[in-house]
Amino acid sequence: MDYGHELQFGVFASPDASRVHETLELAQLADVLGLDLFTVQDHPYNARHLDTPTLLTAVAARTSSIRVAANVANLPLRHPVGIAKQVATLDVISGGRAELGLGTGAFWDAIVAAGGERRSPKEAVDALVEAIRVIRGAWGQDPDHPGARSVTVEGEHYSVRGLRAGPVPVHPVEIWLGAYKPRMLRLTGRLADGWLPSQGYAEPDALPALNAVIDEAAVAAGRGPQAVRRMYNVSGRFGTGGGFLRGTAEVWTEQLAELSLKAGVSTYILSTDDPDVLRRFAGEVAPAVRELVDTERARRAGDGSRRMPSGAPVTAPVTADRRPLEVRPSPGSPRLGSQTPWREDDRPVAAKPDDATYTAAEQAVPQHLLDVHDHLRGELAQLRDVVGQVRRGALSTGAARSVLNTMAMRQNNWTLGAYCETYCRLVTGHHTLEDHSIFVHLRRADPDLGPVIDRLEQEHHVIADVLEQVDEALVGLVGTDGYGHAGEGALDEIERALDLLTDTLLSHLAYEERELLHPLARHGFG
């Protein structure tokens, strides 16, 4: 079952004290790569581990957009009032980027050795229920007493009497539960915002049955299954081989997309400390999974009113209101350079129906293409802004030779490099999906589109060459020290390559929209 949640991707990093600098750099990389979540485990009794709340605070201070969370907080050694205060504080200082993964506890001998209470399975779940009431009450979010300024919970494990609520988080902090047994699953359906199992304890094939327990409890609580986001801690290896997440980026993409569409998983948190693995996950896998899932959702929306559950077409006429195509192509943008690698006046043009009308579901398909293109355009504008920031930094410290200025420039160059690399992979992944799937379908559905699709595929190859130029310019930038003539020359080359990419890509996207919006509304994505 697909619950329709927006897809998210994150990293599950090690809090090992011996590699704190690598962990902080990994968090910065995850932030630059556009991942959604940075998480670490919480085992306060482990002598090799840093304190999780302190580490997450340091990560939040070094990043700007990624959300942070314990995966999951060790309740027996973290009093719920302390958890509430820590998470709310982190949410305030990070501008709304804190979430809370919460668990009943494990490794009871170690917990007792650290001064915690040994609990039976029933006691551990009872304590978790009480803790959630305390935490939400301390945040001013108790559903039974909305707006209450004080918290009173008389429990067997936690009792607070008249605790003043606050500070209040700046956004609705989500509580995710790691759950596997029936009672914990039912509790997740009743109270949690997210379900956060790990691959090692719940294999992919087991997820649908576990989901069903959560769904039943959510419905009984009057919430509905969609109230609980389905998350998954995963691990894998790029290369060759069989099994789940063992193979190429394409294999990872297909497996995760299938899991989203059939088991409802919408958040994937990869266990890795390897920056190269993280780059591939964020740059190759995540955008491709998003696009495959969005494409299939759009196809289902387009087919839903006309197909039986078995997939057989319905012969009855469509009764939904039909309207002329309301999706409009982008108007294009002014040229930044004097030349492009192709002529625009010899592009093939397909016939446009003047009187065609479409249902809302059919119009959603070309709208999705436009949304993807708008995302590419927005990311390109942000990339150009990052280049401008780096250039301004280079000019302001170009003559300075201090260690601090040198480190700052190298950090700026590294950040720009990661951003460039991610954007190039994003564009390549989108074009690969079109070439191998969408264009193949449109050729079969409408042979008259052949010349247009031929031209679009040719332009994909040209854009790939331009992306190579961006990559080469990037190598030249990262190889400099960030100041002096070499640094300025490398930035000039980056800007030249980005101007060419901007002109070619924006021209290509506008042409594709002009020619394919109507065909996509008629035939869907395939």
Structure tokens at 248: 């190429």
- The rounded distance, in Å, linking the Cα atoms of 266 and 7 is 5
Residues 82 and 146 in one domain: yes
Query: Which band of pLDDT confidence, cut at 50, 70 and 90, is reported for residue 126?
Result: very high
Q: Look up residue 473 and give its amino acid.
A: A
3-39 pLDDT, tens digit each:
999 999 999 999 999 999 999 999 988 988 889 999 9
- Residue 309 in domain: no
Looking up tokens 């031929």, which residue turns up?
454
Q: Other CB atoms closer than 10 Å to residue 463's CB: what's the count?
A: 22
- Residue 313 in domain: no
Looking up tokens 């959604």, which residue turns up?
36
- The rounded distance, in Å, linking the Cα atoms of 357 and 323 is 5
Q: Look up residue 363 and give its amino acid.
A: Q
Q: What mean pLDDT comes out for the span 110-135?
A: 96
DSSP letter (8 states) at residue 243: S
Q: What is the pLDDT of residue 202?
A: 96
Report whether pLDDT(385) > 90.
no
Residues 340 and 252 in one domain: no
- The rounded distance, in Å, linking the Cα atoms of 416 and 384 is 10
- Residue 509 in domain: yes
DSSP string of 104-144? ----HHHHHHTTPPP--HHHHHHHHHHHHHHHHHHTT--TT
- Residue 499 in domain: yes
CATH number at residue 378: 1.20.120
Contacts of 387 (CB under 8 A, 6+ apart): 416, 491, 494, 495, 498
CATH number at residue 201: 3.20.20.30
Is the N-terminal amide bond of 72 cis, ω within 30° of 0?
Answer: yes
Percent with pLDDT over 90 in the chain: 64
138-191 pLDDT, tens digit each:
999 877 777 778 899 999 999 999 999 999 999 999 999 999 999 999 999 999
Residues 114 and 157 in one domain: yes
- Residue 312 in domain: no
For CA atoms 243, 245, 247, 253, give the dihedral sign. positive
Residues 205 and 263 in one domain: yes
> Is residue 141 a contact partner of residue 88, using CB atoms and an 8 Å limit?
no
Query: Which band of pLDDT confidence, cut at 50, 70 and 90, is reported for residue 305?
Result: very low
Q: What is the pLDDT of residue 414?
A: 58
- Residue 258 in domain: yes
- Residue 20 in domain: yes
Q: What is the pLDDT of residue 192?
A: 97
Residues 259 and 339 in one domain: no
Residues 104 and 187 in one domain: yes
Q: What angle do CA 130, 189, 169 make, to 5 degrees?
A: 60
- The rounded distance, in Å, linking the Cα atoms of 460 and 362 is 26
Residues 198 and 148 in one domain: yes
Q: What is the pLDDT of residue 487?
A: 58
Residues 262 and 152 in one domain: yes
Q: Which residue range(s) make up the domain with 51?
A: 8-303
- The rounded distance, in Å, linking the Cα atoms of 251 and 348 is 35
- Residue 310 in domain: no
Structure tokens at 180: 């596997």
The tally of domains found in the chain comes to 2
> Is residue 209 a contact partner of residue 215, using CB atoms and an 8 Å limit?
no
Dihedral angle, C-alpha 378, 96, 215, 138, nearest 10 °: -170
Q: What is the pLDDT of residue 506?
A: 95
Structure tokens at 91: 């949410």
Point out the domain boundary residue: 269, 303, 337. Answer: 303
Residues 329 and 473 in one domain: yes
Residues 224 and 154 in one domain: yes
Helices (H) and strands (E) in the chain, counts: 15, 15
> Is residue 257 a contact partner of residue 299, using CB atoms and an 8 Å limit?
no
Q: What angle do CA 412, 423, 405 make, to 5 degrees?
A: 5
Residues 259 and 349 in one domain: no
Report whether pLDDT(247) > 50.
yes
Point out the domain boundary residue: 303, 338, 372. Answer: 303
Residues 293 and 370 in one domain: no
Point out the domain boundary residue: 236, 271, 303. Answer: 303
- The rounded distance, in Å, linking the Cα atoms of 519 and 325 is 11
Give the chain's end-to-end CA distance (angstroms, integer): 20
Q: Output the 3-class SS for 144-202.
A: CCCCCCEEEEECCCCEEEEEECCCCCCCCCCEEECCCCHHHHHHHHHHCCEECCECCCC
Structure tokens at 255: 């497996």
Is the N-terminal amide bond of 167 cis, ω within 30° of 0?
Answer: yes
